[in-house]
Each structure stands twice: as structure tokens, then as C-alpha cells.
Amino acid sequence: MLQTSERVYRNLSVTQLIEHSIRRGEGVLSERGALVVDTGKYTGRSPKDRFIVRQKSIEDKIFWGKRNVPVEEKVFERLYGKVKEYLSDKPLYVFDGYVGSKKEYRQPLTVICEQASSALFANQMFIRPDADETGDFEAGYTVIAAPGFKSEGIKDGVNSEAFIIINIDEKVILIGGTAYKGEIKKAVFTMMNFLLPMKGVMPMHCSANIGPDGRTAVFFGLSGTGKTTLSADPARKLIGDDEHGWCDEGIFNFEGGCYAKVIKLNRDKEKEIYNAVRFGTVLENVAVKEDGSCNFDDGTKTENTRAAYPIHHIDNVEENGQGGNPDTIIFLTADAFGVMPPVSKLSTEAAMYHFMSGFTSKVAGTERGISEPVSTFSACFGEPFMLMNPVVYAELLGKKIRQNNTEVYMLNTGWLSGGYGKGDRIKLKHTRAAVNAILSGELRCAEYYEHPVLGVKIPKKCSGIPEEILDPRSTWKDKELYDAKALELAERFRMNFKRFSSVPKSIIEAGPRA
């Protein structure tokens, strides 16, 4: 595939990759031994620079649009050739591993990196082969990460110096111009979201854990809504923090690590994540003090500071990365309007509606150009990574919910009392209390009433949450303004949902009423 120099370092140990990274000037060690790297200009994903190669085999399967932008094969081939030439005389770092902890559905993966720190990232994020699997490893998809190569933008058929191109037929993911390592992870996730539905498996942008009773829960939500924080529960085993598949036998983690946001990381509030940041962890764009300690409160570089660590850095994990069919699903949204209740319950149809809507507020730094929360709709709570029509994923979800009698709840981890800039963000302790009430079974038999505009069911009581904030309207001084904002948000839902065709009436009617 690549004509390279003899300096190809394949499957080096964590210690070796860290040594190479430091020697090459890619990063420094923090006081606790984590490798701290600066990703330069790109401190978050660059969604406008992600492309799918248009091919006859996938033409009618892709949900083309502003998220899934097509590029012709000749553009891919030209850039592919340029990248191969660029890398031909450079040392390369190669990781061989898997995506998917369940062998029936896992995908072999080879990641070829210009940077040793990128290979370390891949080693920590994906599933590392067992000792008896390395000898006859055969790659499925290949990721090539060349951050030092910058395209000529429009002249090369892309938008800027950075590009992420997924070629389904060739099984190649080509990344250039950006050193943000999350592009590797999310491009692979995108590929899995295309492959698995054709096998009857529901791919999910979610975290998951399992309780002492063996019951599994999954948490859907976009970056910054609390998936990682809320699923890292010392009382429950973590299955994974971001990407999973749901097959007939249950769920399975795609990854072998976690990629947590660490801006304002607090040792007391997020003990599990804080303790995971140690030797072997890759920290992106985190400020380091003179004594080598990390200043997690410093968002000067970006609010999207990240930590990539192997899942075994969390003390309480499900080692095989698998769990049973979930009896609980929790949607997480950070509502900047201040309209959504802290906790609510959804019918199956409402769950499908809100899953397809994927309402939240993008938080600062997750994508380039975002400096404060912006309300958005991201289908399936991960639209940038879903190549098929959202209806395909929603139908899979509805089928799984009905087959397993799964209950679905929605938590607002955003604002109340007037919304962003006026009111307060919902306290983490109250969100944790809601999660505990859900997982303990308390809210299964609670008394509910229906929100007149949103249509969701709000519990009259929930242990650990003040009753006066369960109803978001009661937190607003100006009740009429709340009503107006609720109608405004409902209209946004309605307008967004117009882009979906062939949706059953029962699902549409389960959404907010403008």
C-alpha cells in the first residue's frame, strides 16, 4: 500500500511509543506521566473537511447532504498518491487491532501514522489483539494519518488544507492536514455505522455500563452532554464511554479505550476520569504548569481538551466490553433554551422521534468555530458519523426497544431559569440523582404528568432532585416567557423534522407540539 523507508515501527509498546513521541518533540510528560501533545491549528473535528467517496456500490445507501459530502474517486486517488509520496521517506508508526469487542462483528483495523503519538492514541483507543492473534493479523480497513501533509484545498478537490476521506470500496480512510487525533476515532466510527446495520446490528453513539444486578444501561448524547462522566460510576462496571453496537445477544463496545473531555476536570467530582489520566494516557491541548502538573481549568487553547486512555485505566470495568440487552436507555441533551425538564420519560414512539431529532447544544471547542453553546439537531445523537438515512437507525432502535421492553428517559444536562446566559446550569449532583432514580427502578413506577408542549412525561417526584426544578417552567420568573420559549423550541423541532420522509404518523405525533 505504501512505499516507505525501512523505518516502520509496528505495534510498539506503550513505553516505546511514548519514548519516540518525546524524542521527536511531539509532546511532554505531565507530572503523572501522561503524554501531553499540542494538535496545533485543529483542536477539534473539522466536519466540513470530511468526505465520502462516491461509488456505485454505495450510491443508494448513503444519506447524502451537508453531513455526508461526496467526493469523486479521482480526487481520492490524487490525494492518496500525494500522501503516499509524502510519507515515502518518513518513519511510520503502525497499529494493528480491532474495532468491536464481539468477534462476530468486529472489524480488523490497521492505523498507519506519521506521528508516534497518533499510534499511541490508536493503541489506547482501539481493541488490542491478544498475543495469539498478532501473527496472522489481516487488515480490514486501513487508516492513514498524515497531519504534516497539507492539501492545496480547492485545487485538490477539497475545501482546505485538512481532509478526511472515507473510501468504502477500497477500505481506506485518508486523513491529512490535521493533527487532532479524534478524527481517527470518529472516521472509524463512521465506517462501522455503515457496515453494521446491514448485519442487523444497531450502531450507537453512546456510553454504557452494567450494574451489580447484571442490568445494562446506555447513555446517548453528543460530546459535552455527560456521556463519559455519567457512565463512569463507581457502583457500576463501565462497558464503554462512546461507541457501541446492539445485536440480538446484547451490546458490545467498539473500542478499547475512552476519549474524555477534561476541561475543568475535577478530582472530587470526576474521580474515575481524573485517576485515569496517568502514564499511557494521551492528553490533547491541556495546559501544563512549570512543575509538570496539568491545569485542566485552562481553556485558552481550546475548551475541547481531551484525554485518551485505555479502558483498564478505569478501576471498575467490564473487561470483555460486552453487556446484555439494555433495559434502560438515557438520552442526554444540554438545552440552552432552559425549556427541557431535568428528567422525563419517553414512549417508544417519542424515543424514536427524539433519537431522530438529536436535540442538544453544541458546546465550545467540540468543533472549530464554536465559542459558546449553540442549539442544534444532530440525528441519532451523532449525525456527522451516520452515513445512512436516520430513519434506518431509528427503526432499528424502535425494534430493539420493543423486543427487550426497554424503558427510555431523557435528561437535560443544560440550563433552567431563563436558559443559557441568564439561568444556572443544572447541577451535576441533580443529574446523577436522576440517573440513580432511573437505574434503581424508582422512576419505573413513579407518577407522571405530560408537558403540554414538549409531550414528554415529567415525574412528580424524584429522589435527590428538588421538586421545584422538576417542572422547568416553575424555575422561570416570567412564566409567559417560558411558554413562548417552549413553543419556539417546539417549532424548531417541527421544522427540523420536515427533512425526514416516510416517517410514520405515530412517531411525528409523539414529538413536541408547536
Q: What is the pLDDT of residues 280-299, one digit of tens each?
A: 999 999 999 999 999 999 99
Strands (E), 363-424: 374-377, 407-412
Vertex 500 angle, CA 499 and 502, to 5°: 140
pLDDT band for position 117 (cuts 50, 70, 90):
very high
Question: In the annotation, is 223 catalytic?
Answer: yes
The count of C-alpha atoms lying within 13 angstroms of the C-alpha of 88, restricted to the half-sphere facing its C-beta, is 8
Domain ranges of the chain: 8-25+50-196, 259-311, 327-508
Catalytic option among 46, 228, 344, 378: 228
Q: What is the pLDDT of residues 392-445, one digit of tens each?
A: 999 999 999 999 999 999 999 999 998 878 888 999 999 999 999 999 999 999
Question: In the annotation, is 305 catalytic?
Answer: no
Catalytic option among 50, 186, 237, 492: 186
The answer as to CATH 3.30.530.20 being correct for domain 259-311 is no
Q: Which CATH number fits domain 8-25+50-196: 3.50.50.60, 3.40.449.10, 3.40.50.11890, 3.40.50.620?
A: 3.40.449.10
pTM as predicted = 0.91
Catalytic option among 39, 223, 357, 406: 223
Q: Domain 327-508 is in which class? A: alpha beta
3-class SS letters over 93-150: EEEEEEECCCCCCCEEEEEEECCHHHHHHHHHHCECCCHHHCCCCCCCEEEEEECCCC
Catalytic option among 205, 345, 354, 362: 205
Select from 50, 55, 77, 75 the least CA-distant residue to 157. Answer: 75
Q: What is the pLDDT of residues 22-80, one digit of tens each?
A: 999 999 999 999 999 999 999 999 999 999 999 999 999 999 999 999 999 999 999 99
- In sequence order, the 6+-apart residues with CB closer than 8 A to the CB of 218 are 204, 206, 207, 208, 244, 246, 251, 326, 328, 329, 330
Q: Which neighbouring-strand residues pair with 143?
A: 111, 173
Vertex 492 angle, CA 480 and 357, to 5°: 125
Question: In the annotation, is 186 catalytic?
Answer: yes
pLDDT band for position 267 (cuts 50, 70, 90):
very high
pLDDT band for position 304 (cuts 50, 70, 90):
very high
d(CA 234, CA 315): 8
285 touches 39 (CB < 8 A) = yes
d(CA 495, CA 492): 5
Q: Is a pLDDT exceeding 90 seen at residue 375?
A: no
Question: In the annotation, is 228 catalytic?
Answer: yes
d(CA 329, CA 358): 14
Question: In the annotation, is 313 catalytic?
Answer: no
pLDDT band for position 339 (cuts 50, 70, 90):
very high
Catalytic option among 102, 128, 227, 457: 227
Segment of 218-227, 364-373, 383-392 carrying the highest mean pLDDT: 383-392
Question: In the annotation, is 499 catalytic?
Answer: no
Question: In the annotation, is 242 catalytic?
Answer: yes
Catalytic option among 20, 45, 237, 345: 45
Q: Which three cell numbers stand for residue 10?
A: 509496528
Catalytic option among 96, 233, 241, 242: 242
Helical segments of 44-93, H only: 73-87
d(CA 79, CA 165): 9
Strands (E), 158-215: 163-167, 172-176, 202-210
Q: What is the mean pLDDT of residues 350-372?
A: 76
Kindly report the average pLDDT of the chain as a whole number. Answer: 93
329-343 per-residue burial string, b: 16 or more CB within 10 A, e: under 16:
bbbbbbbbbbbbbbb
Least confident of 248-257, 266-275, 427-436: 266-275
Handedness of CA 10, 12, 16, 19 (dihedral sign): positive
Whether the domain at 259-311 and the domain at 327-508 fall into the same CATH topology: no
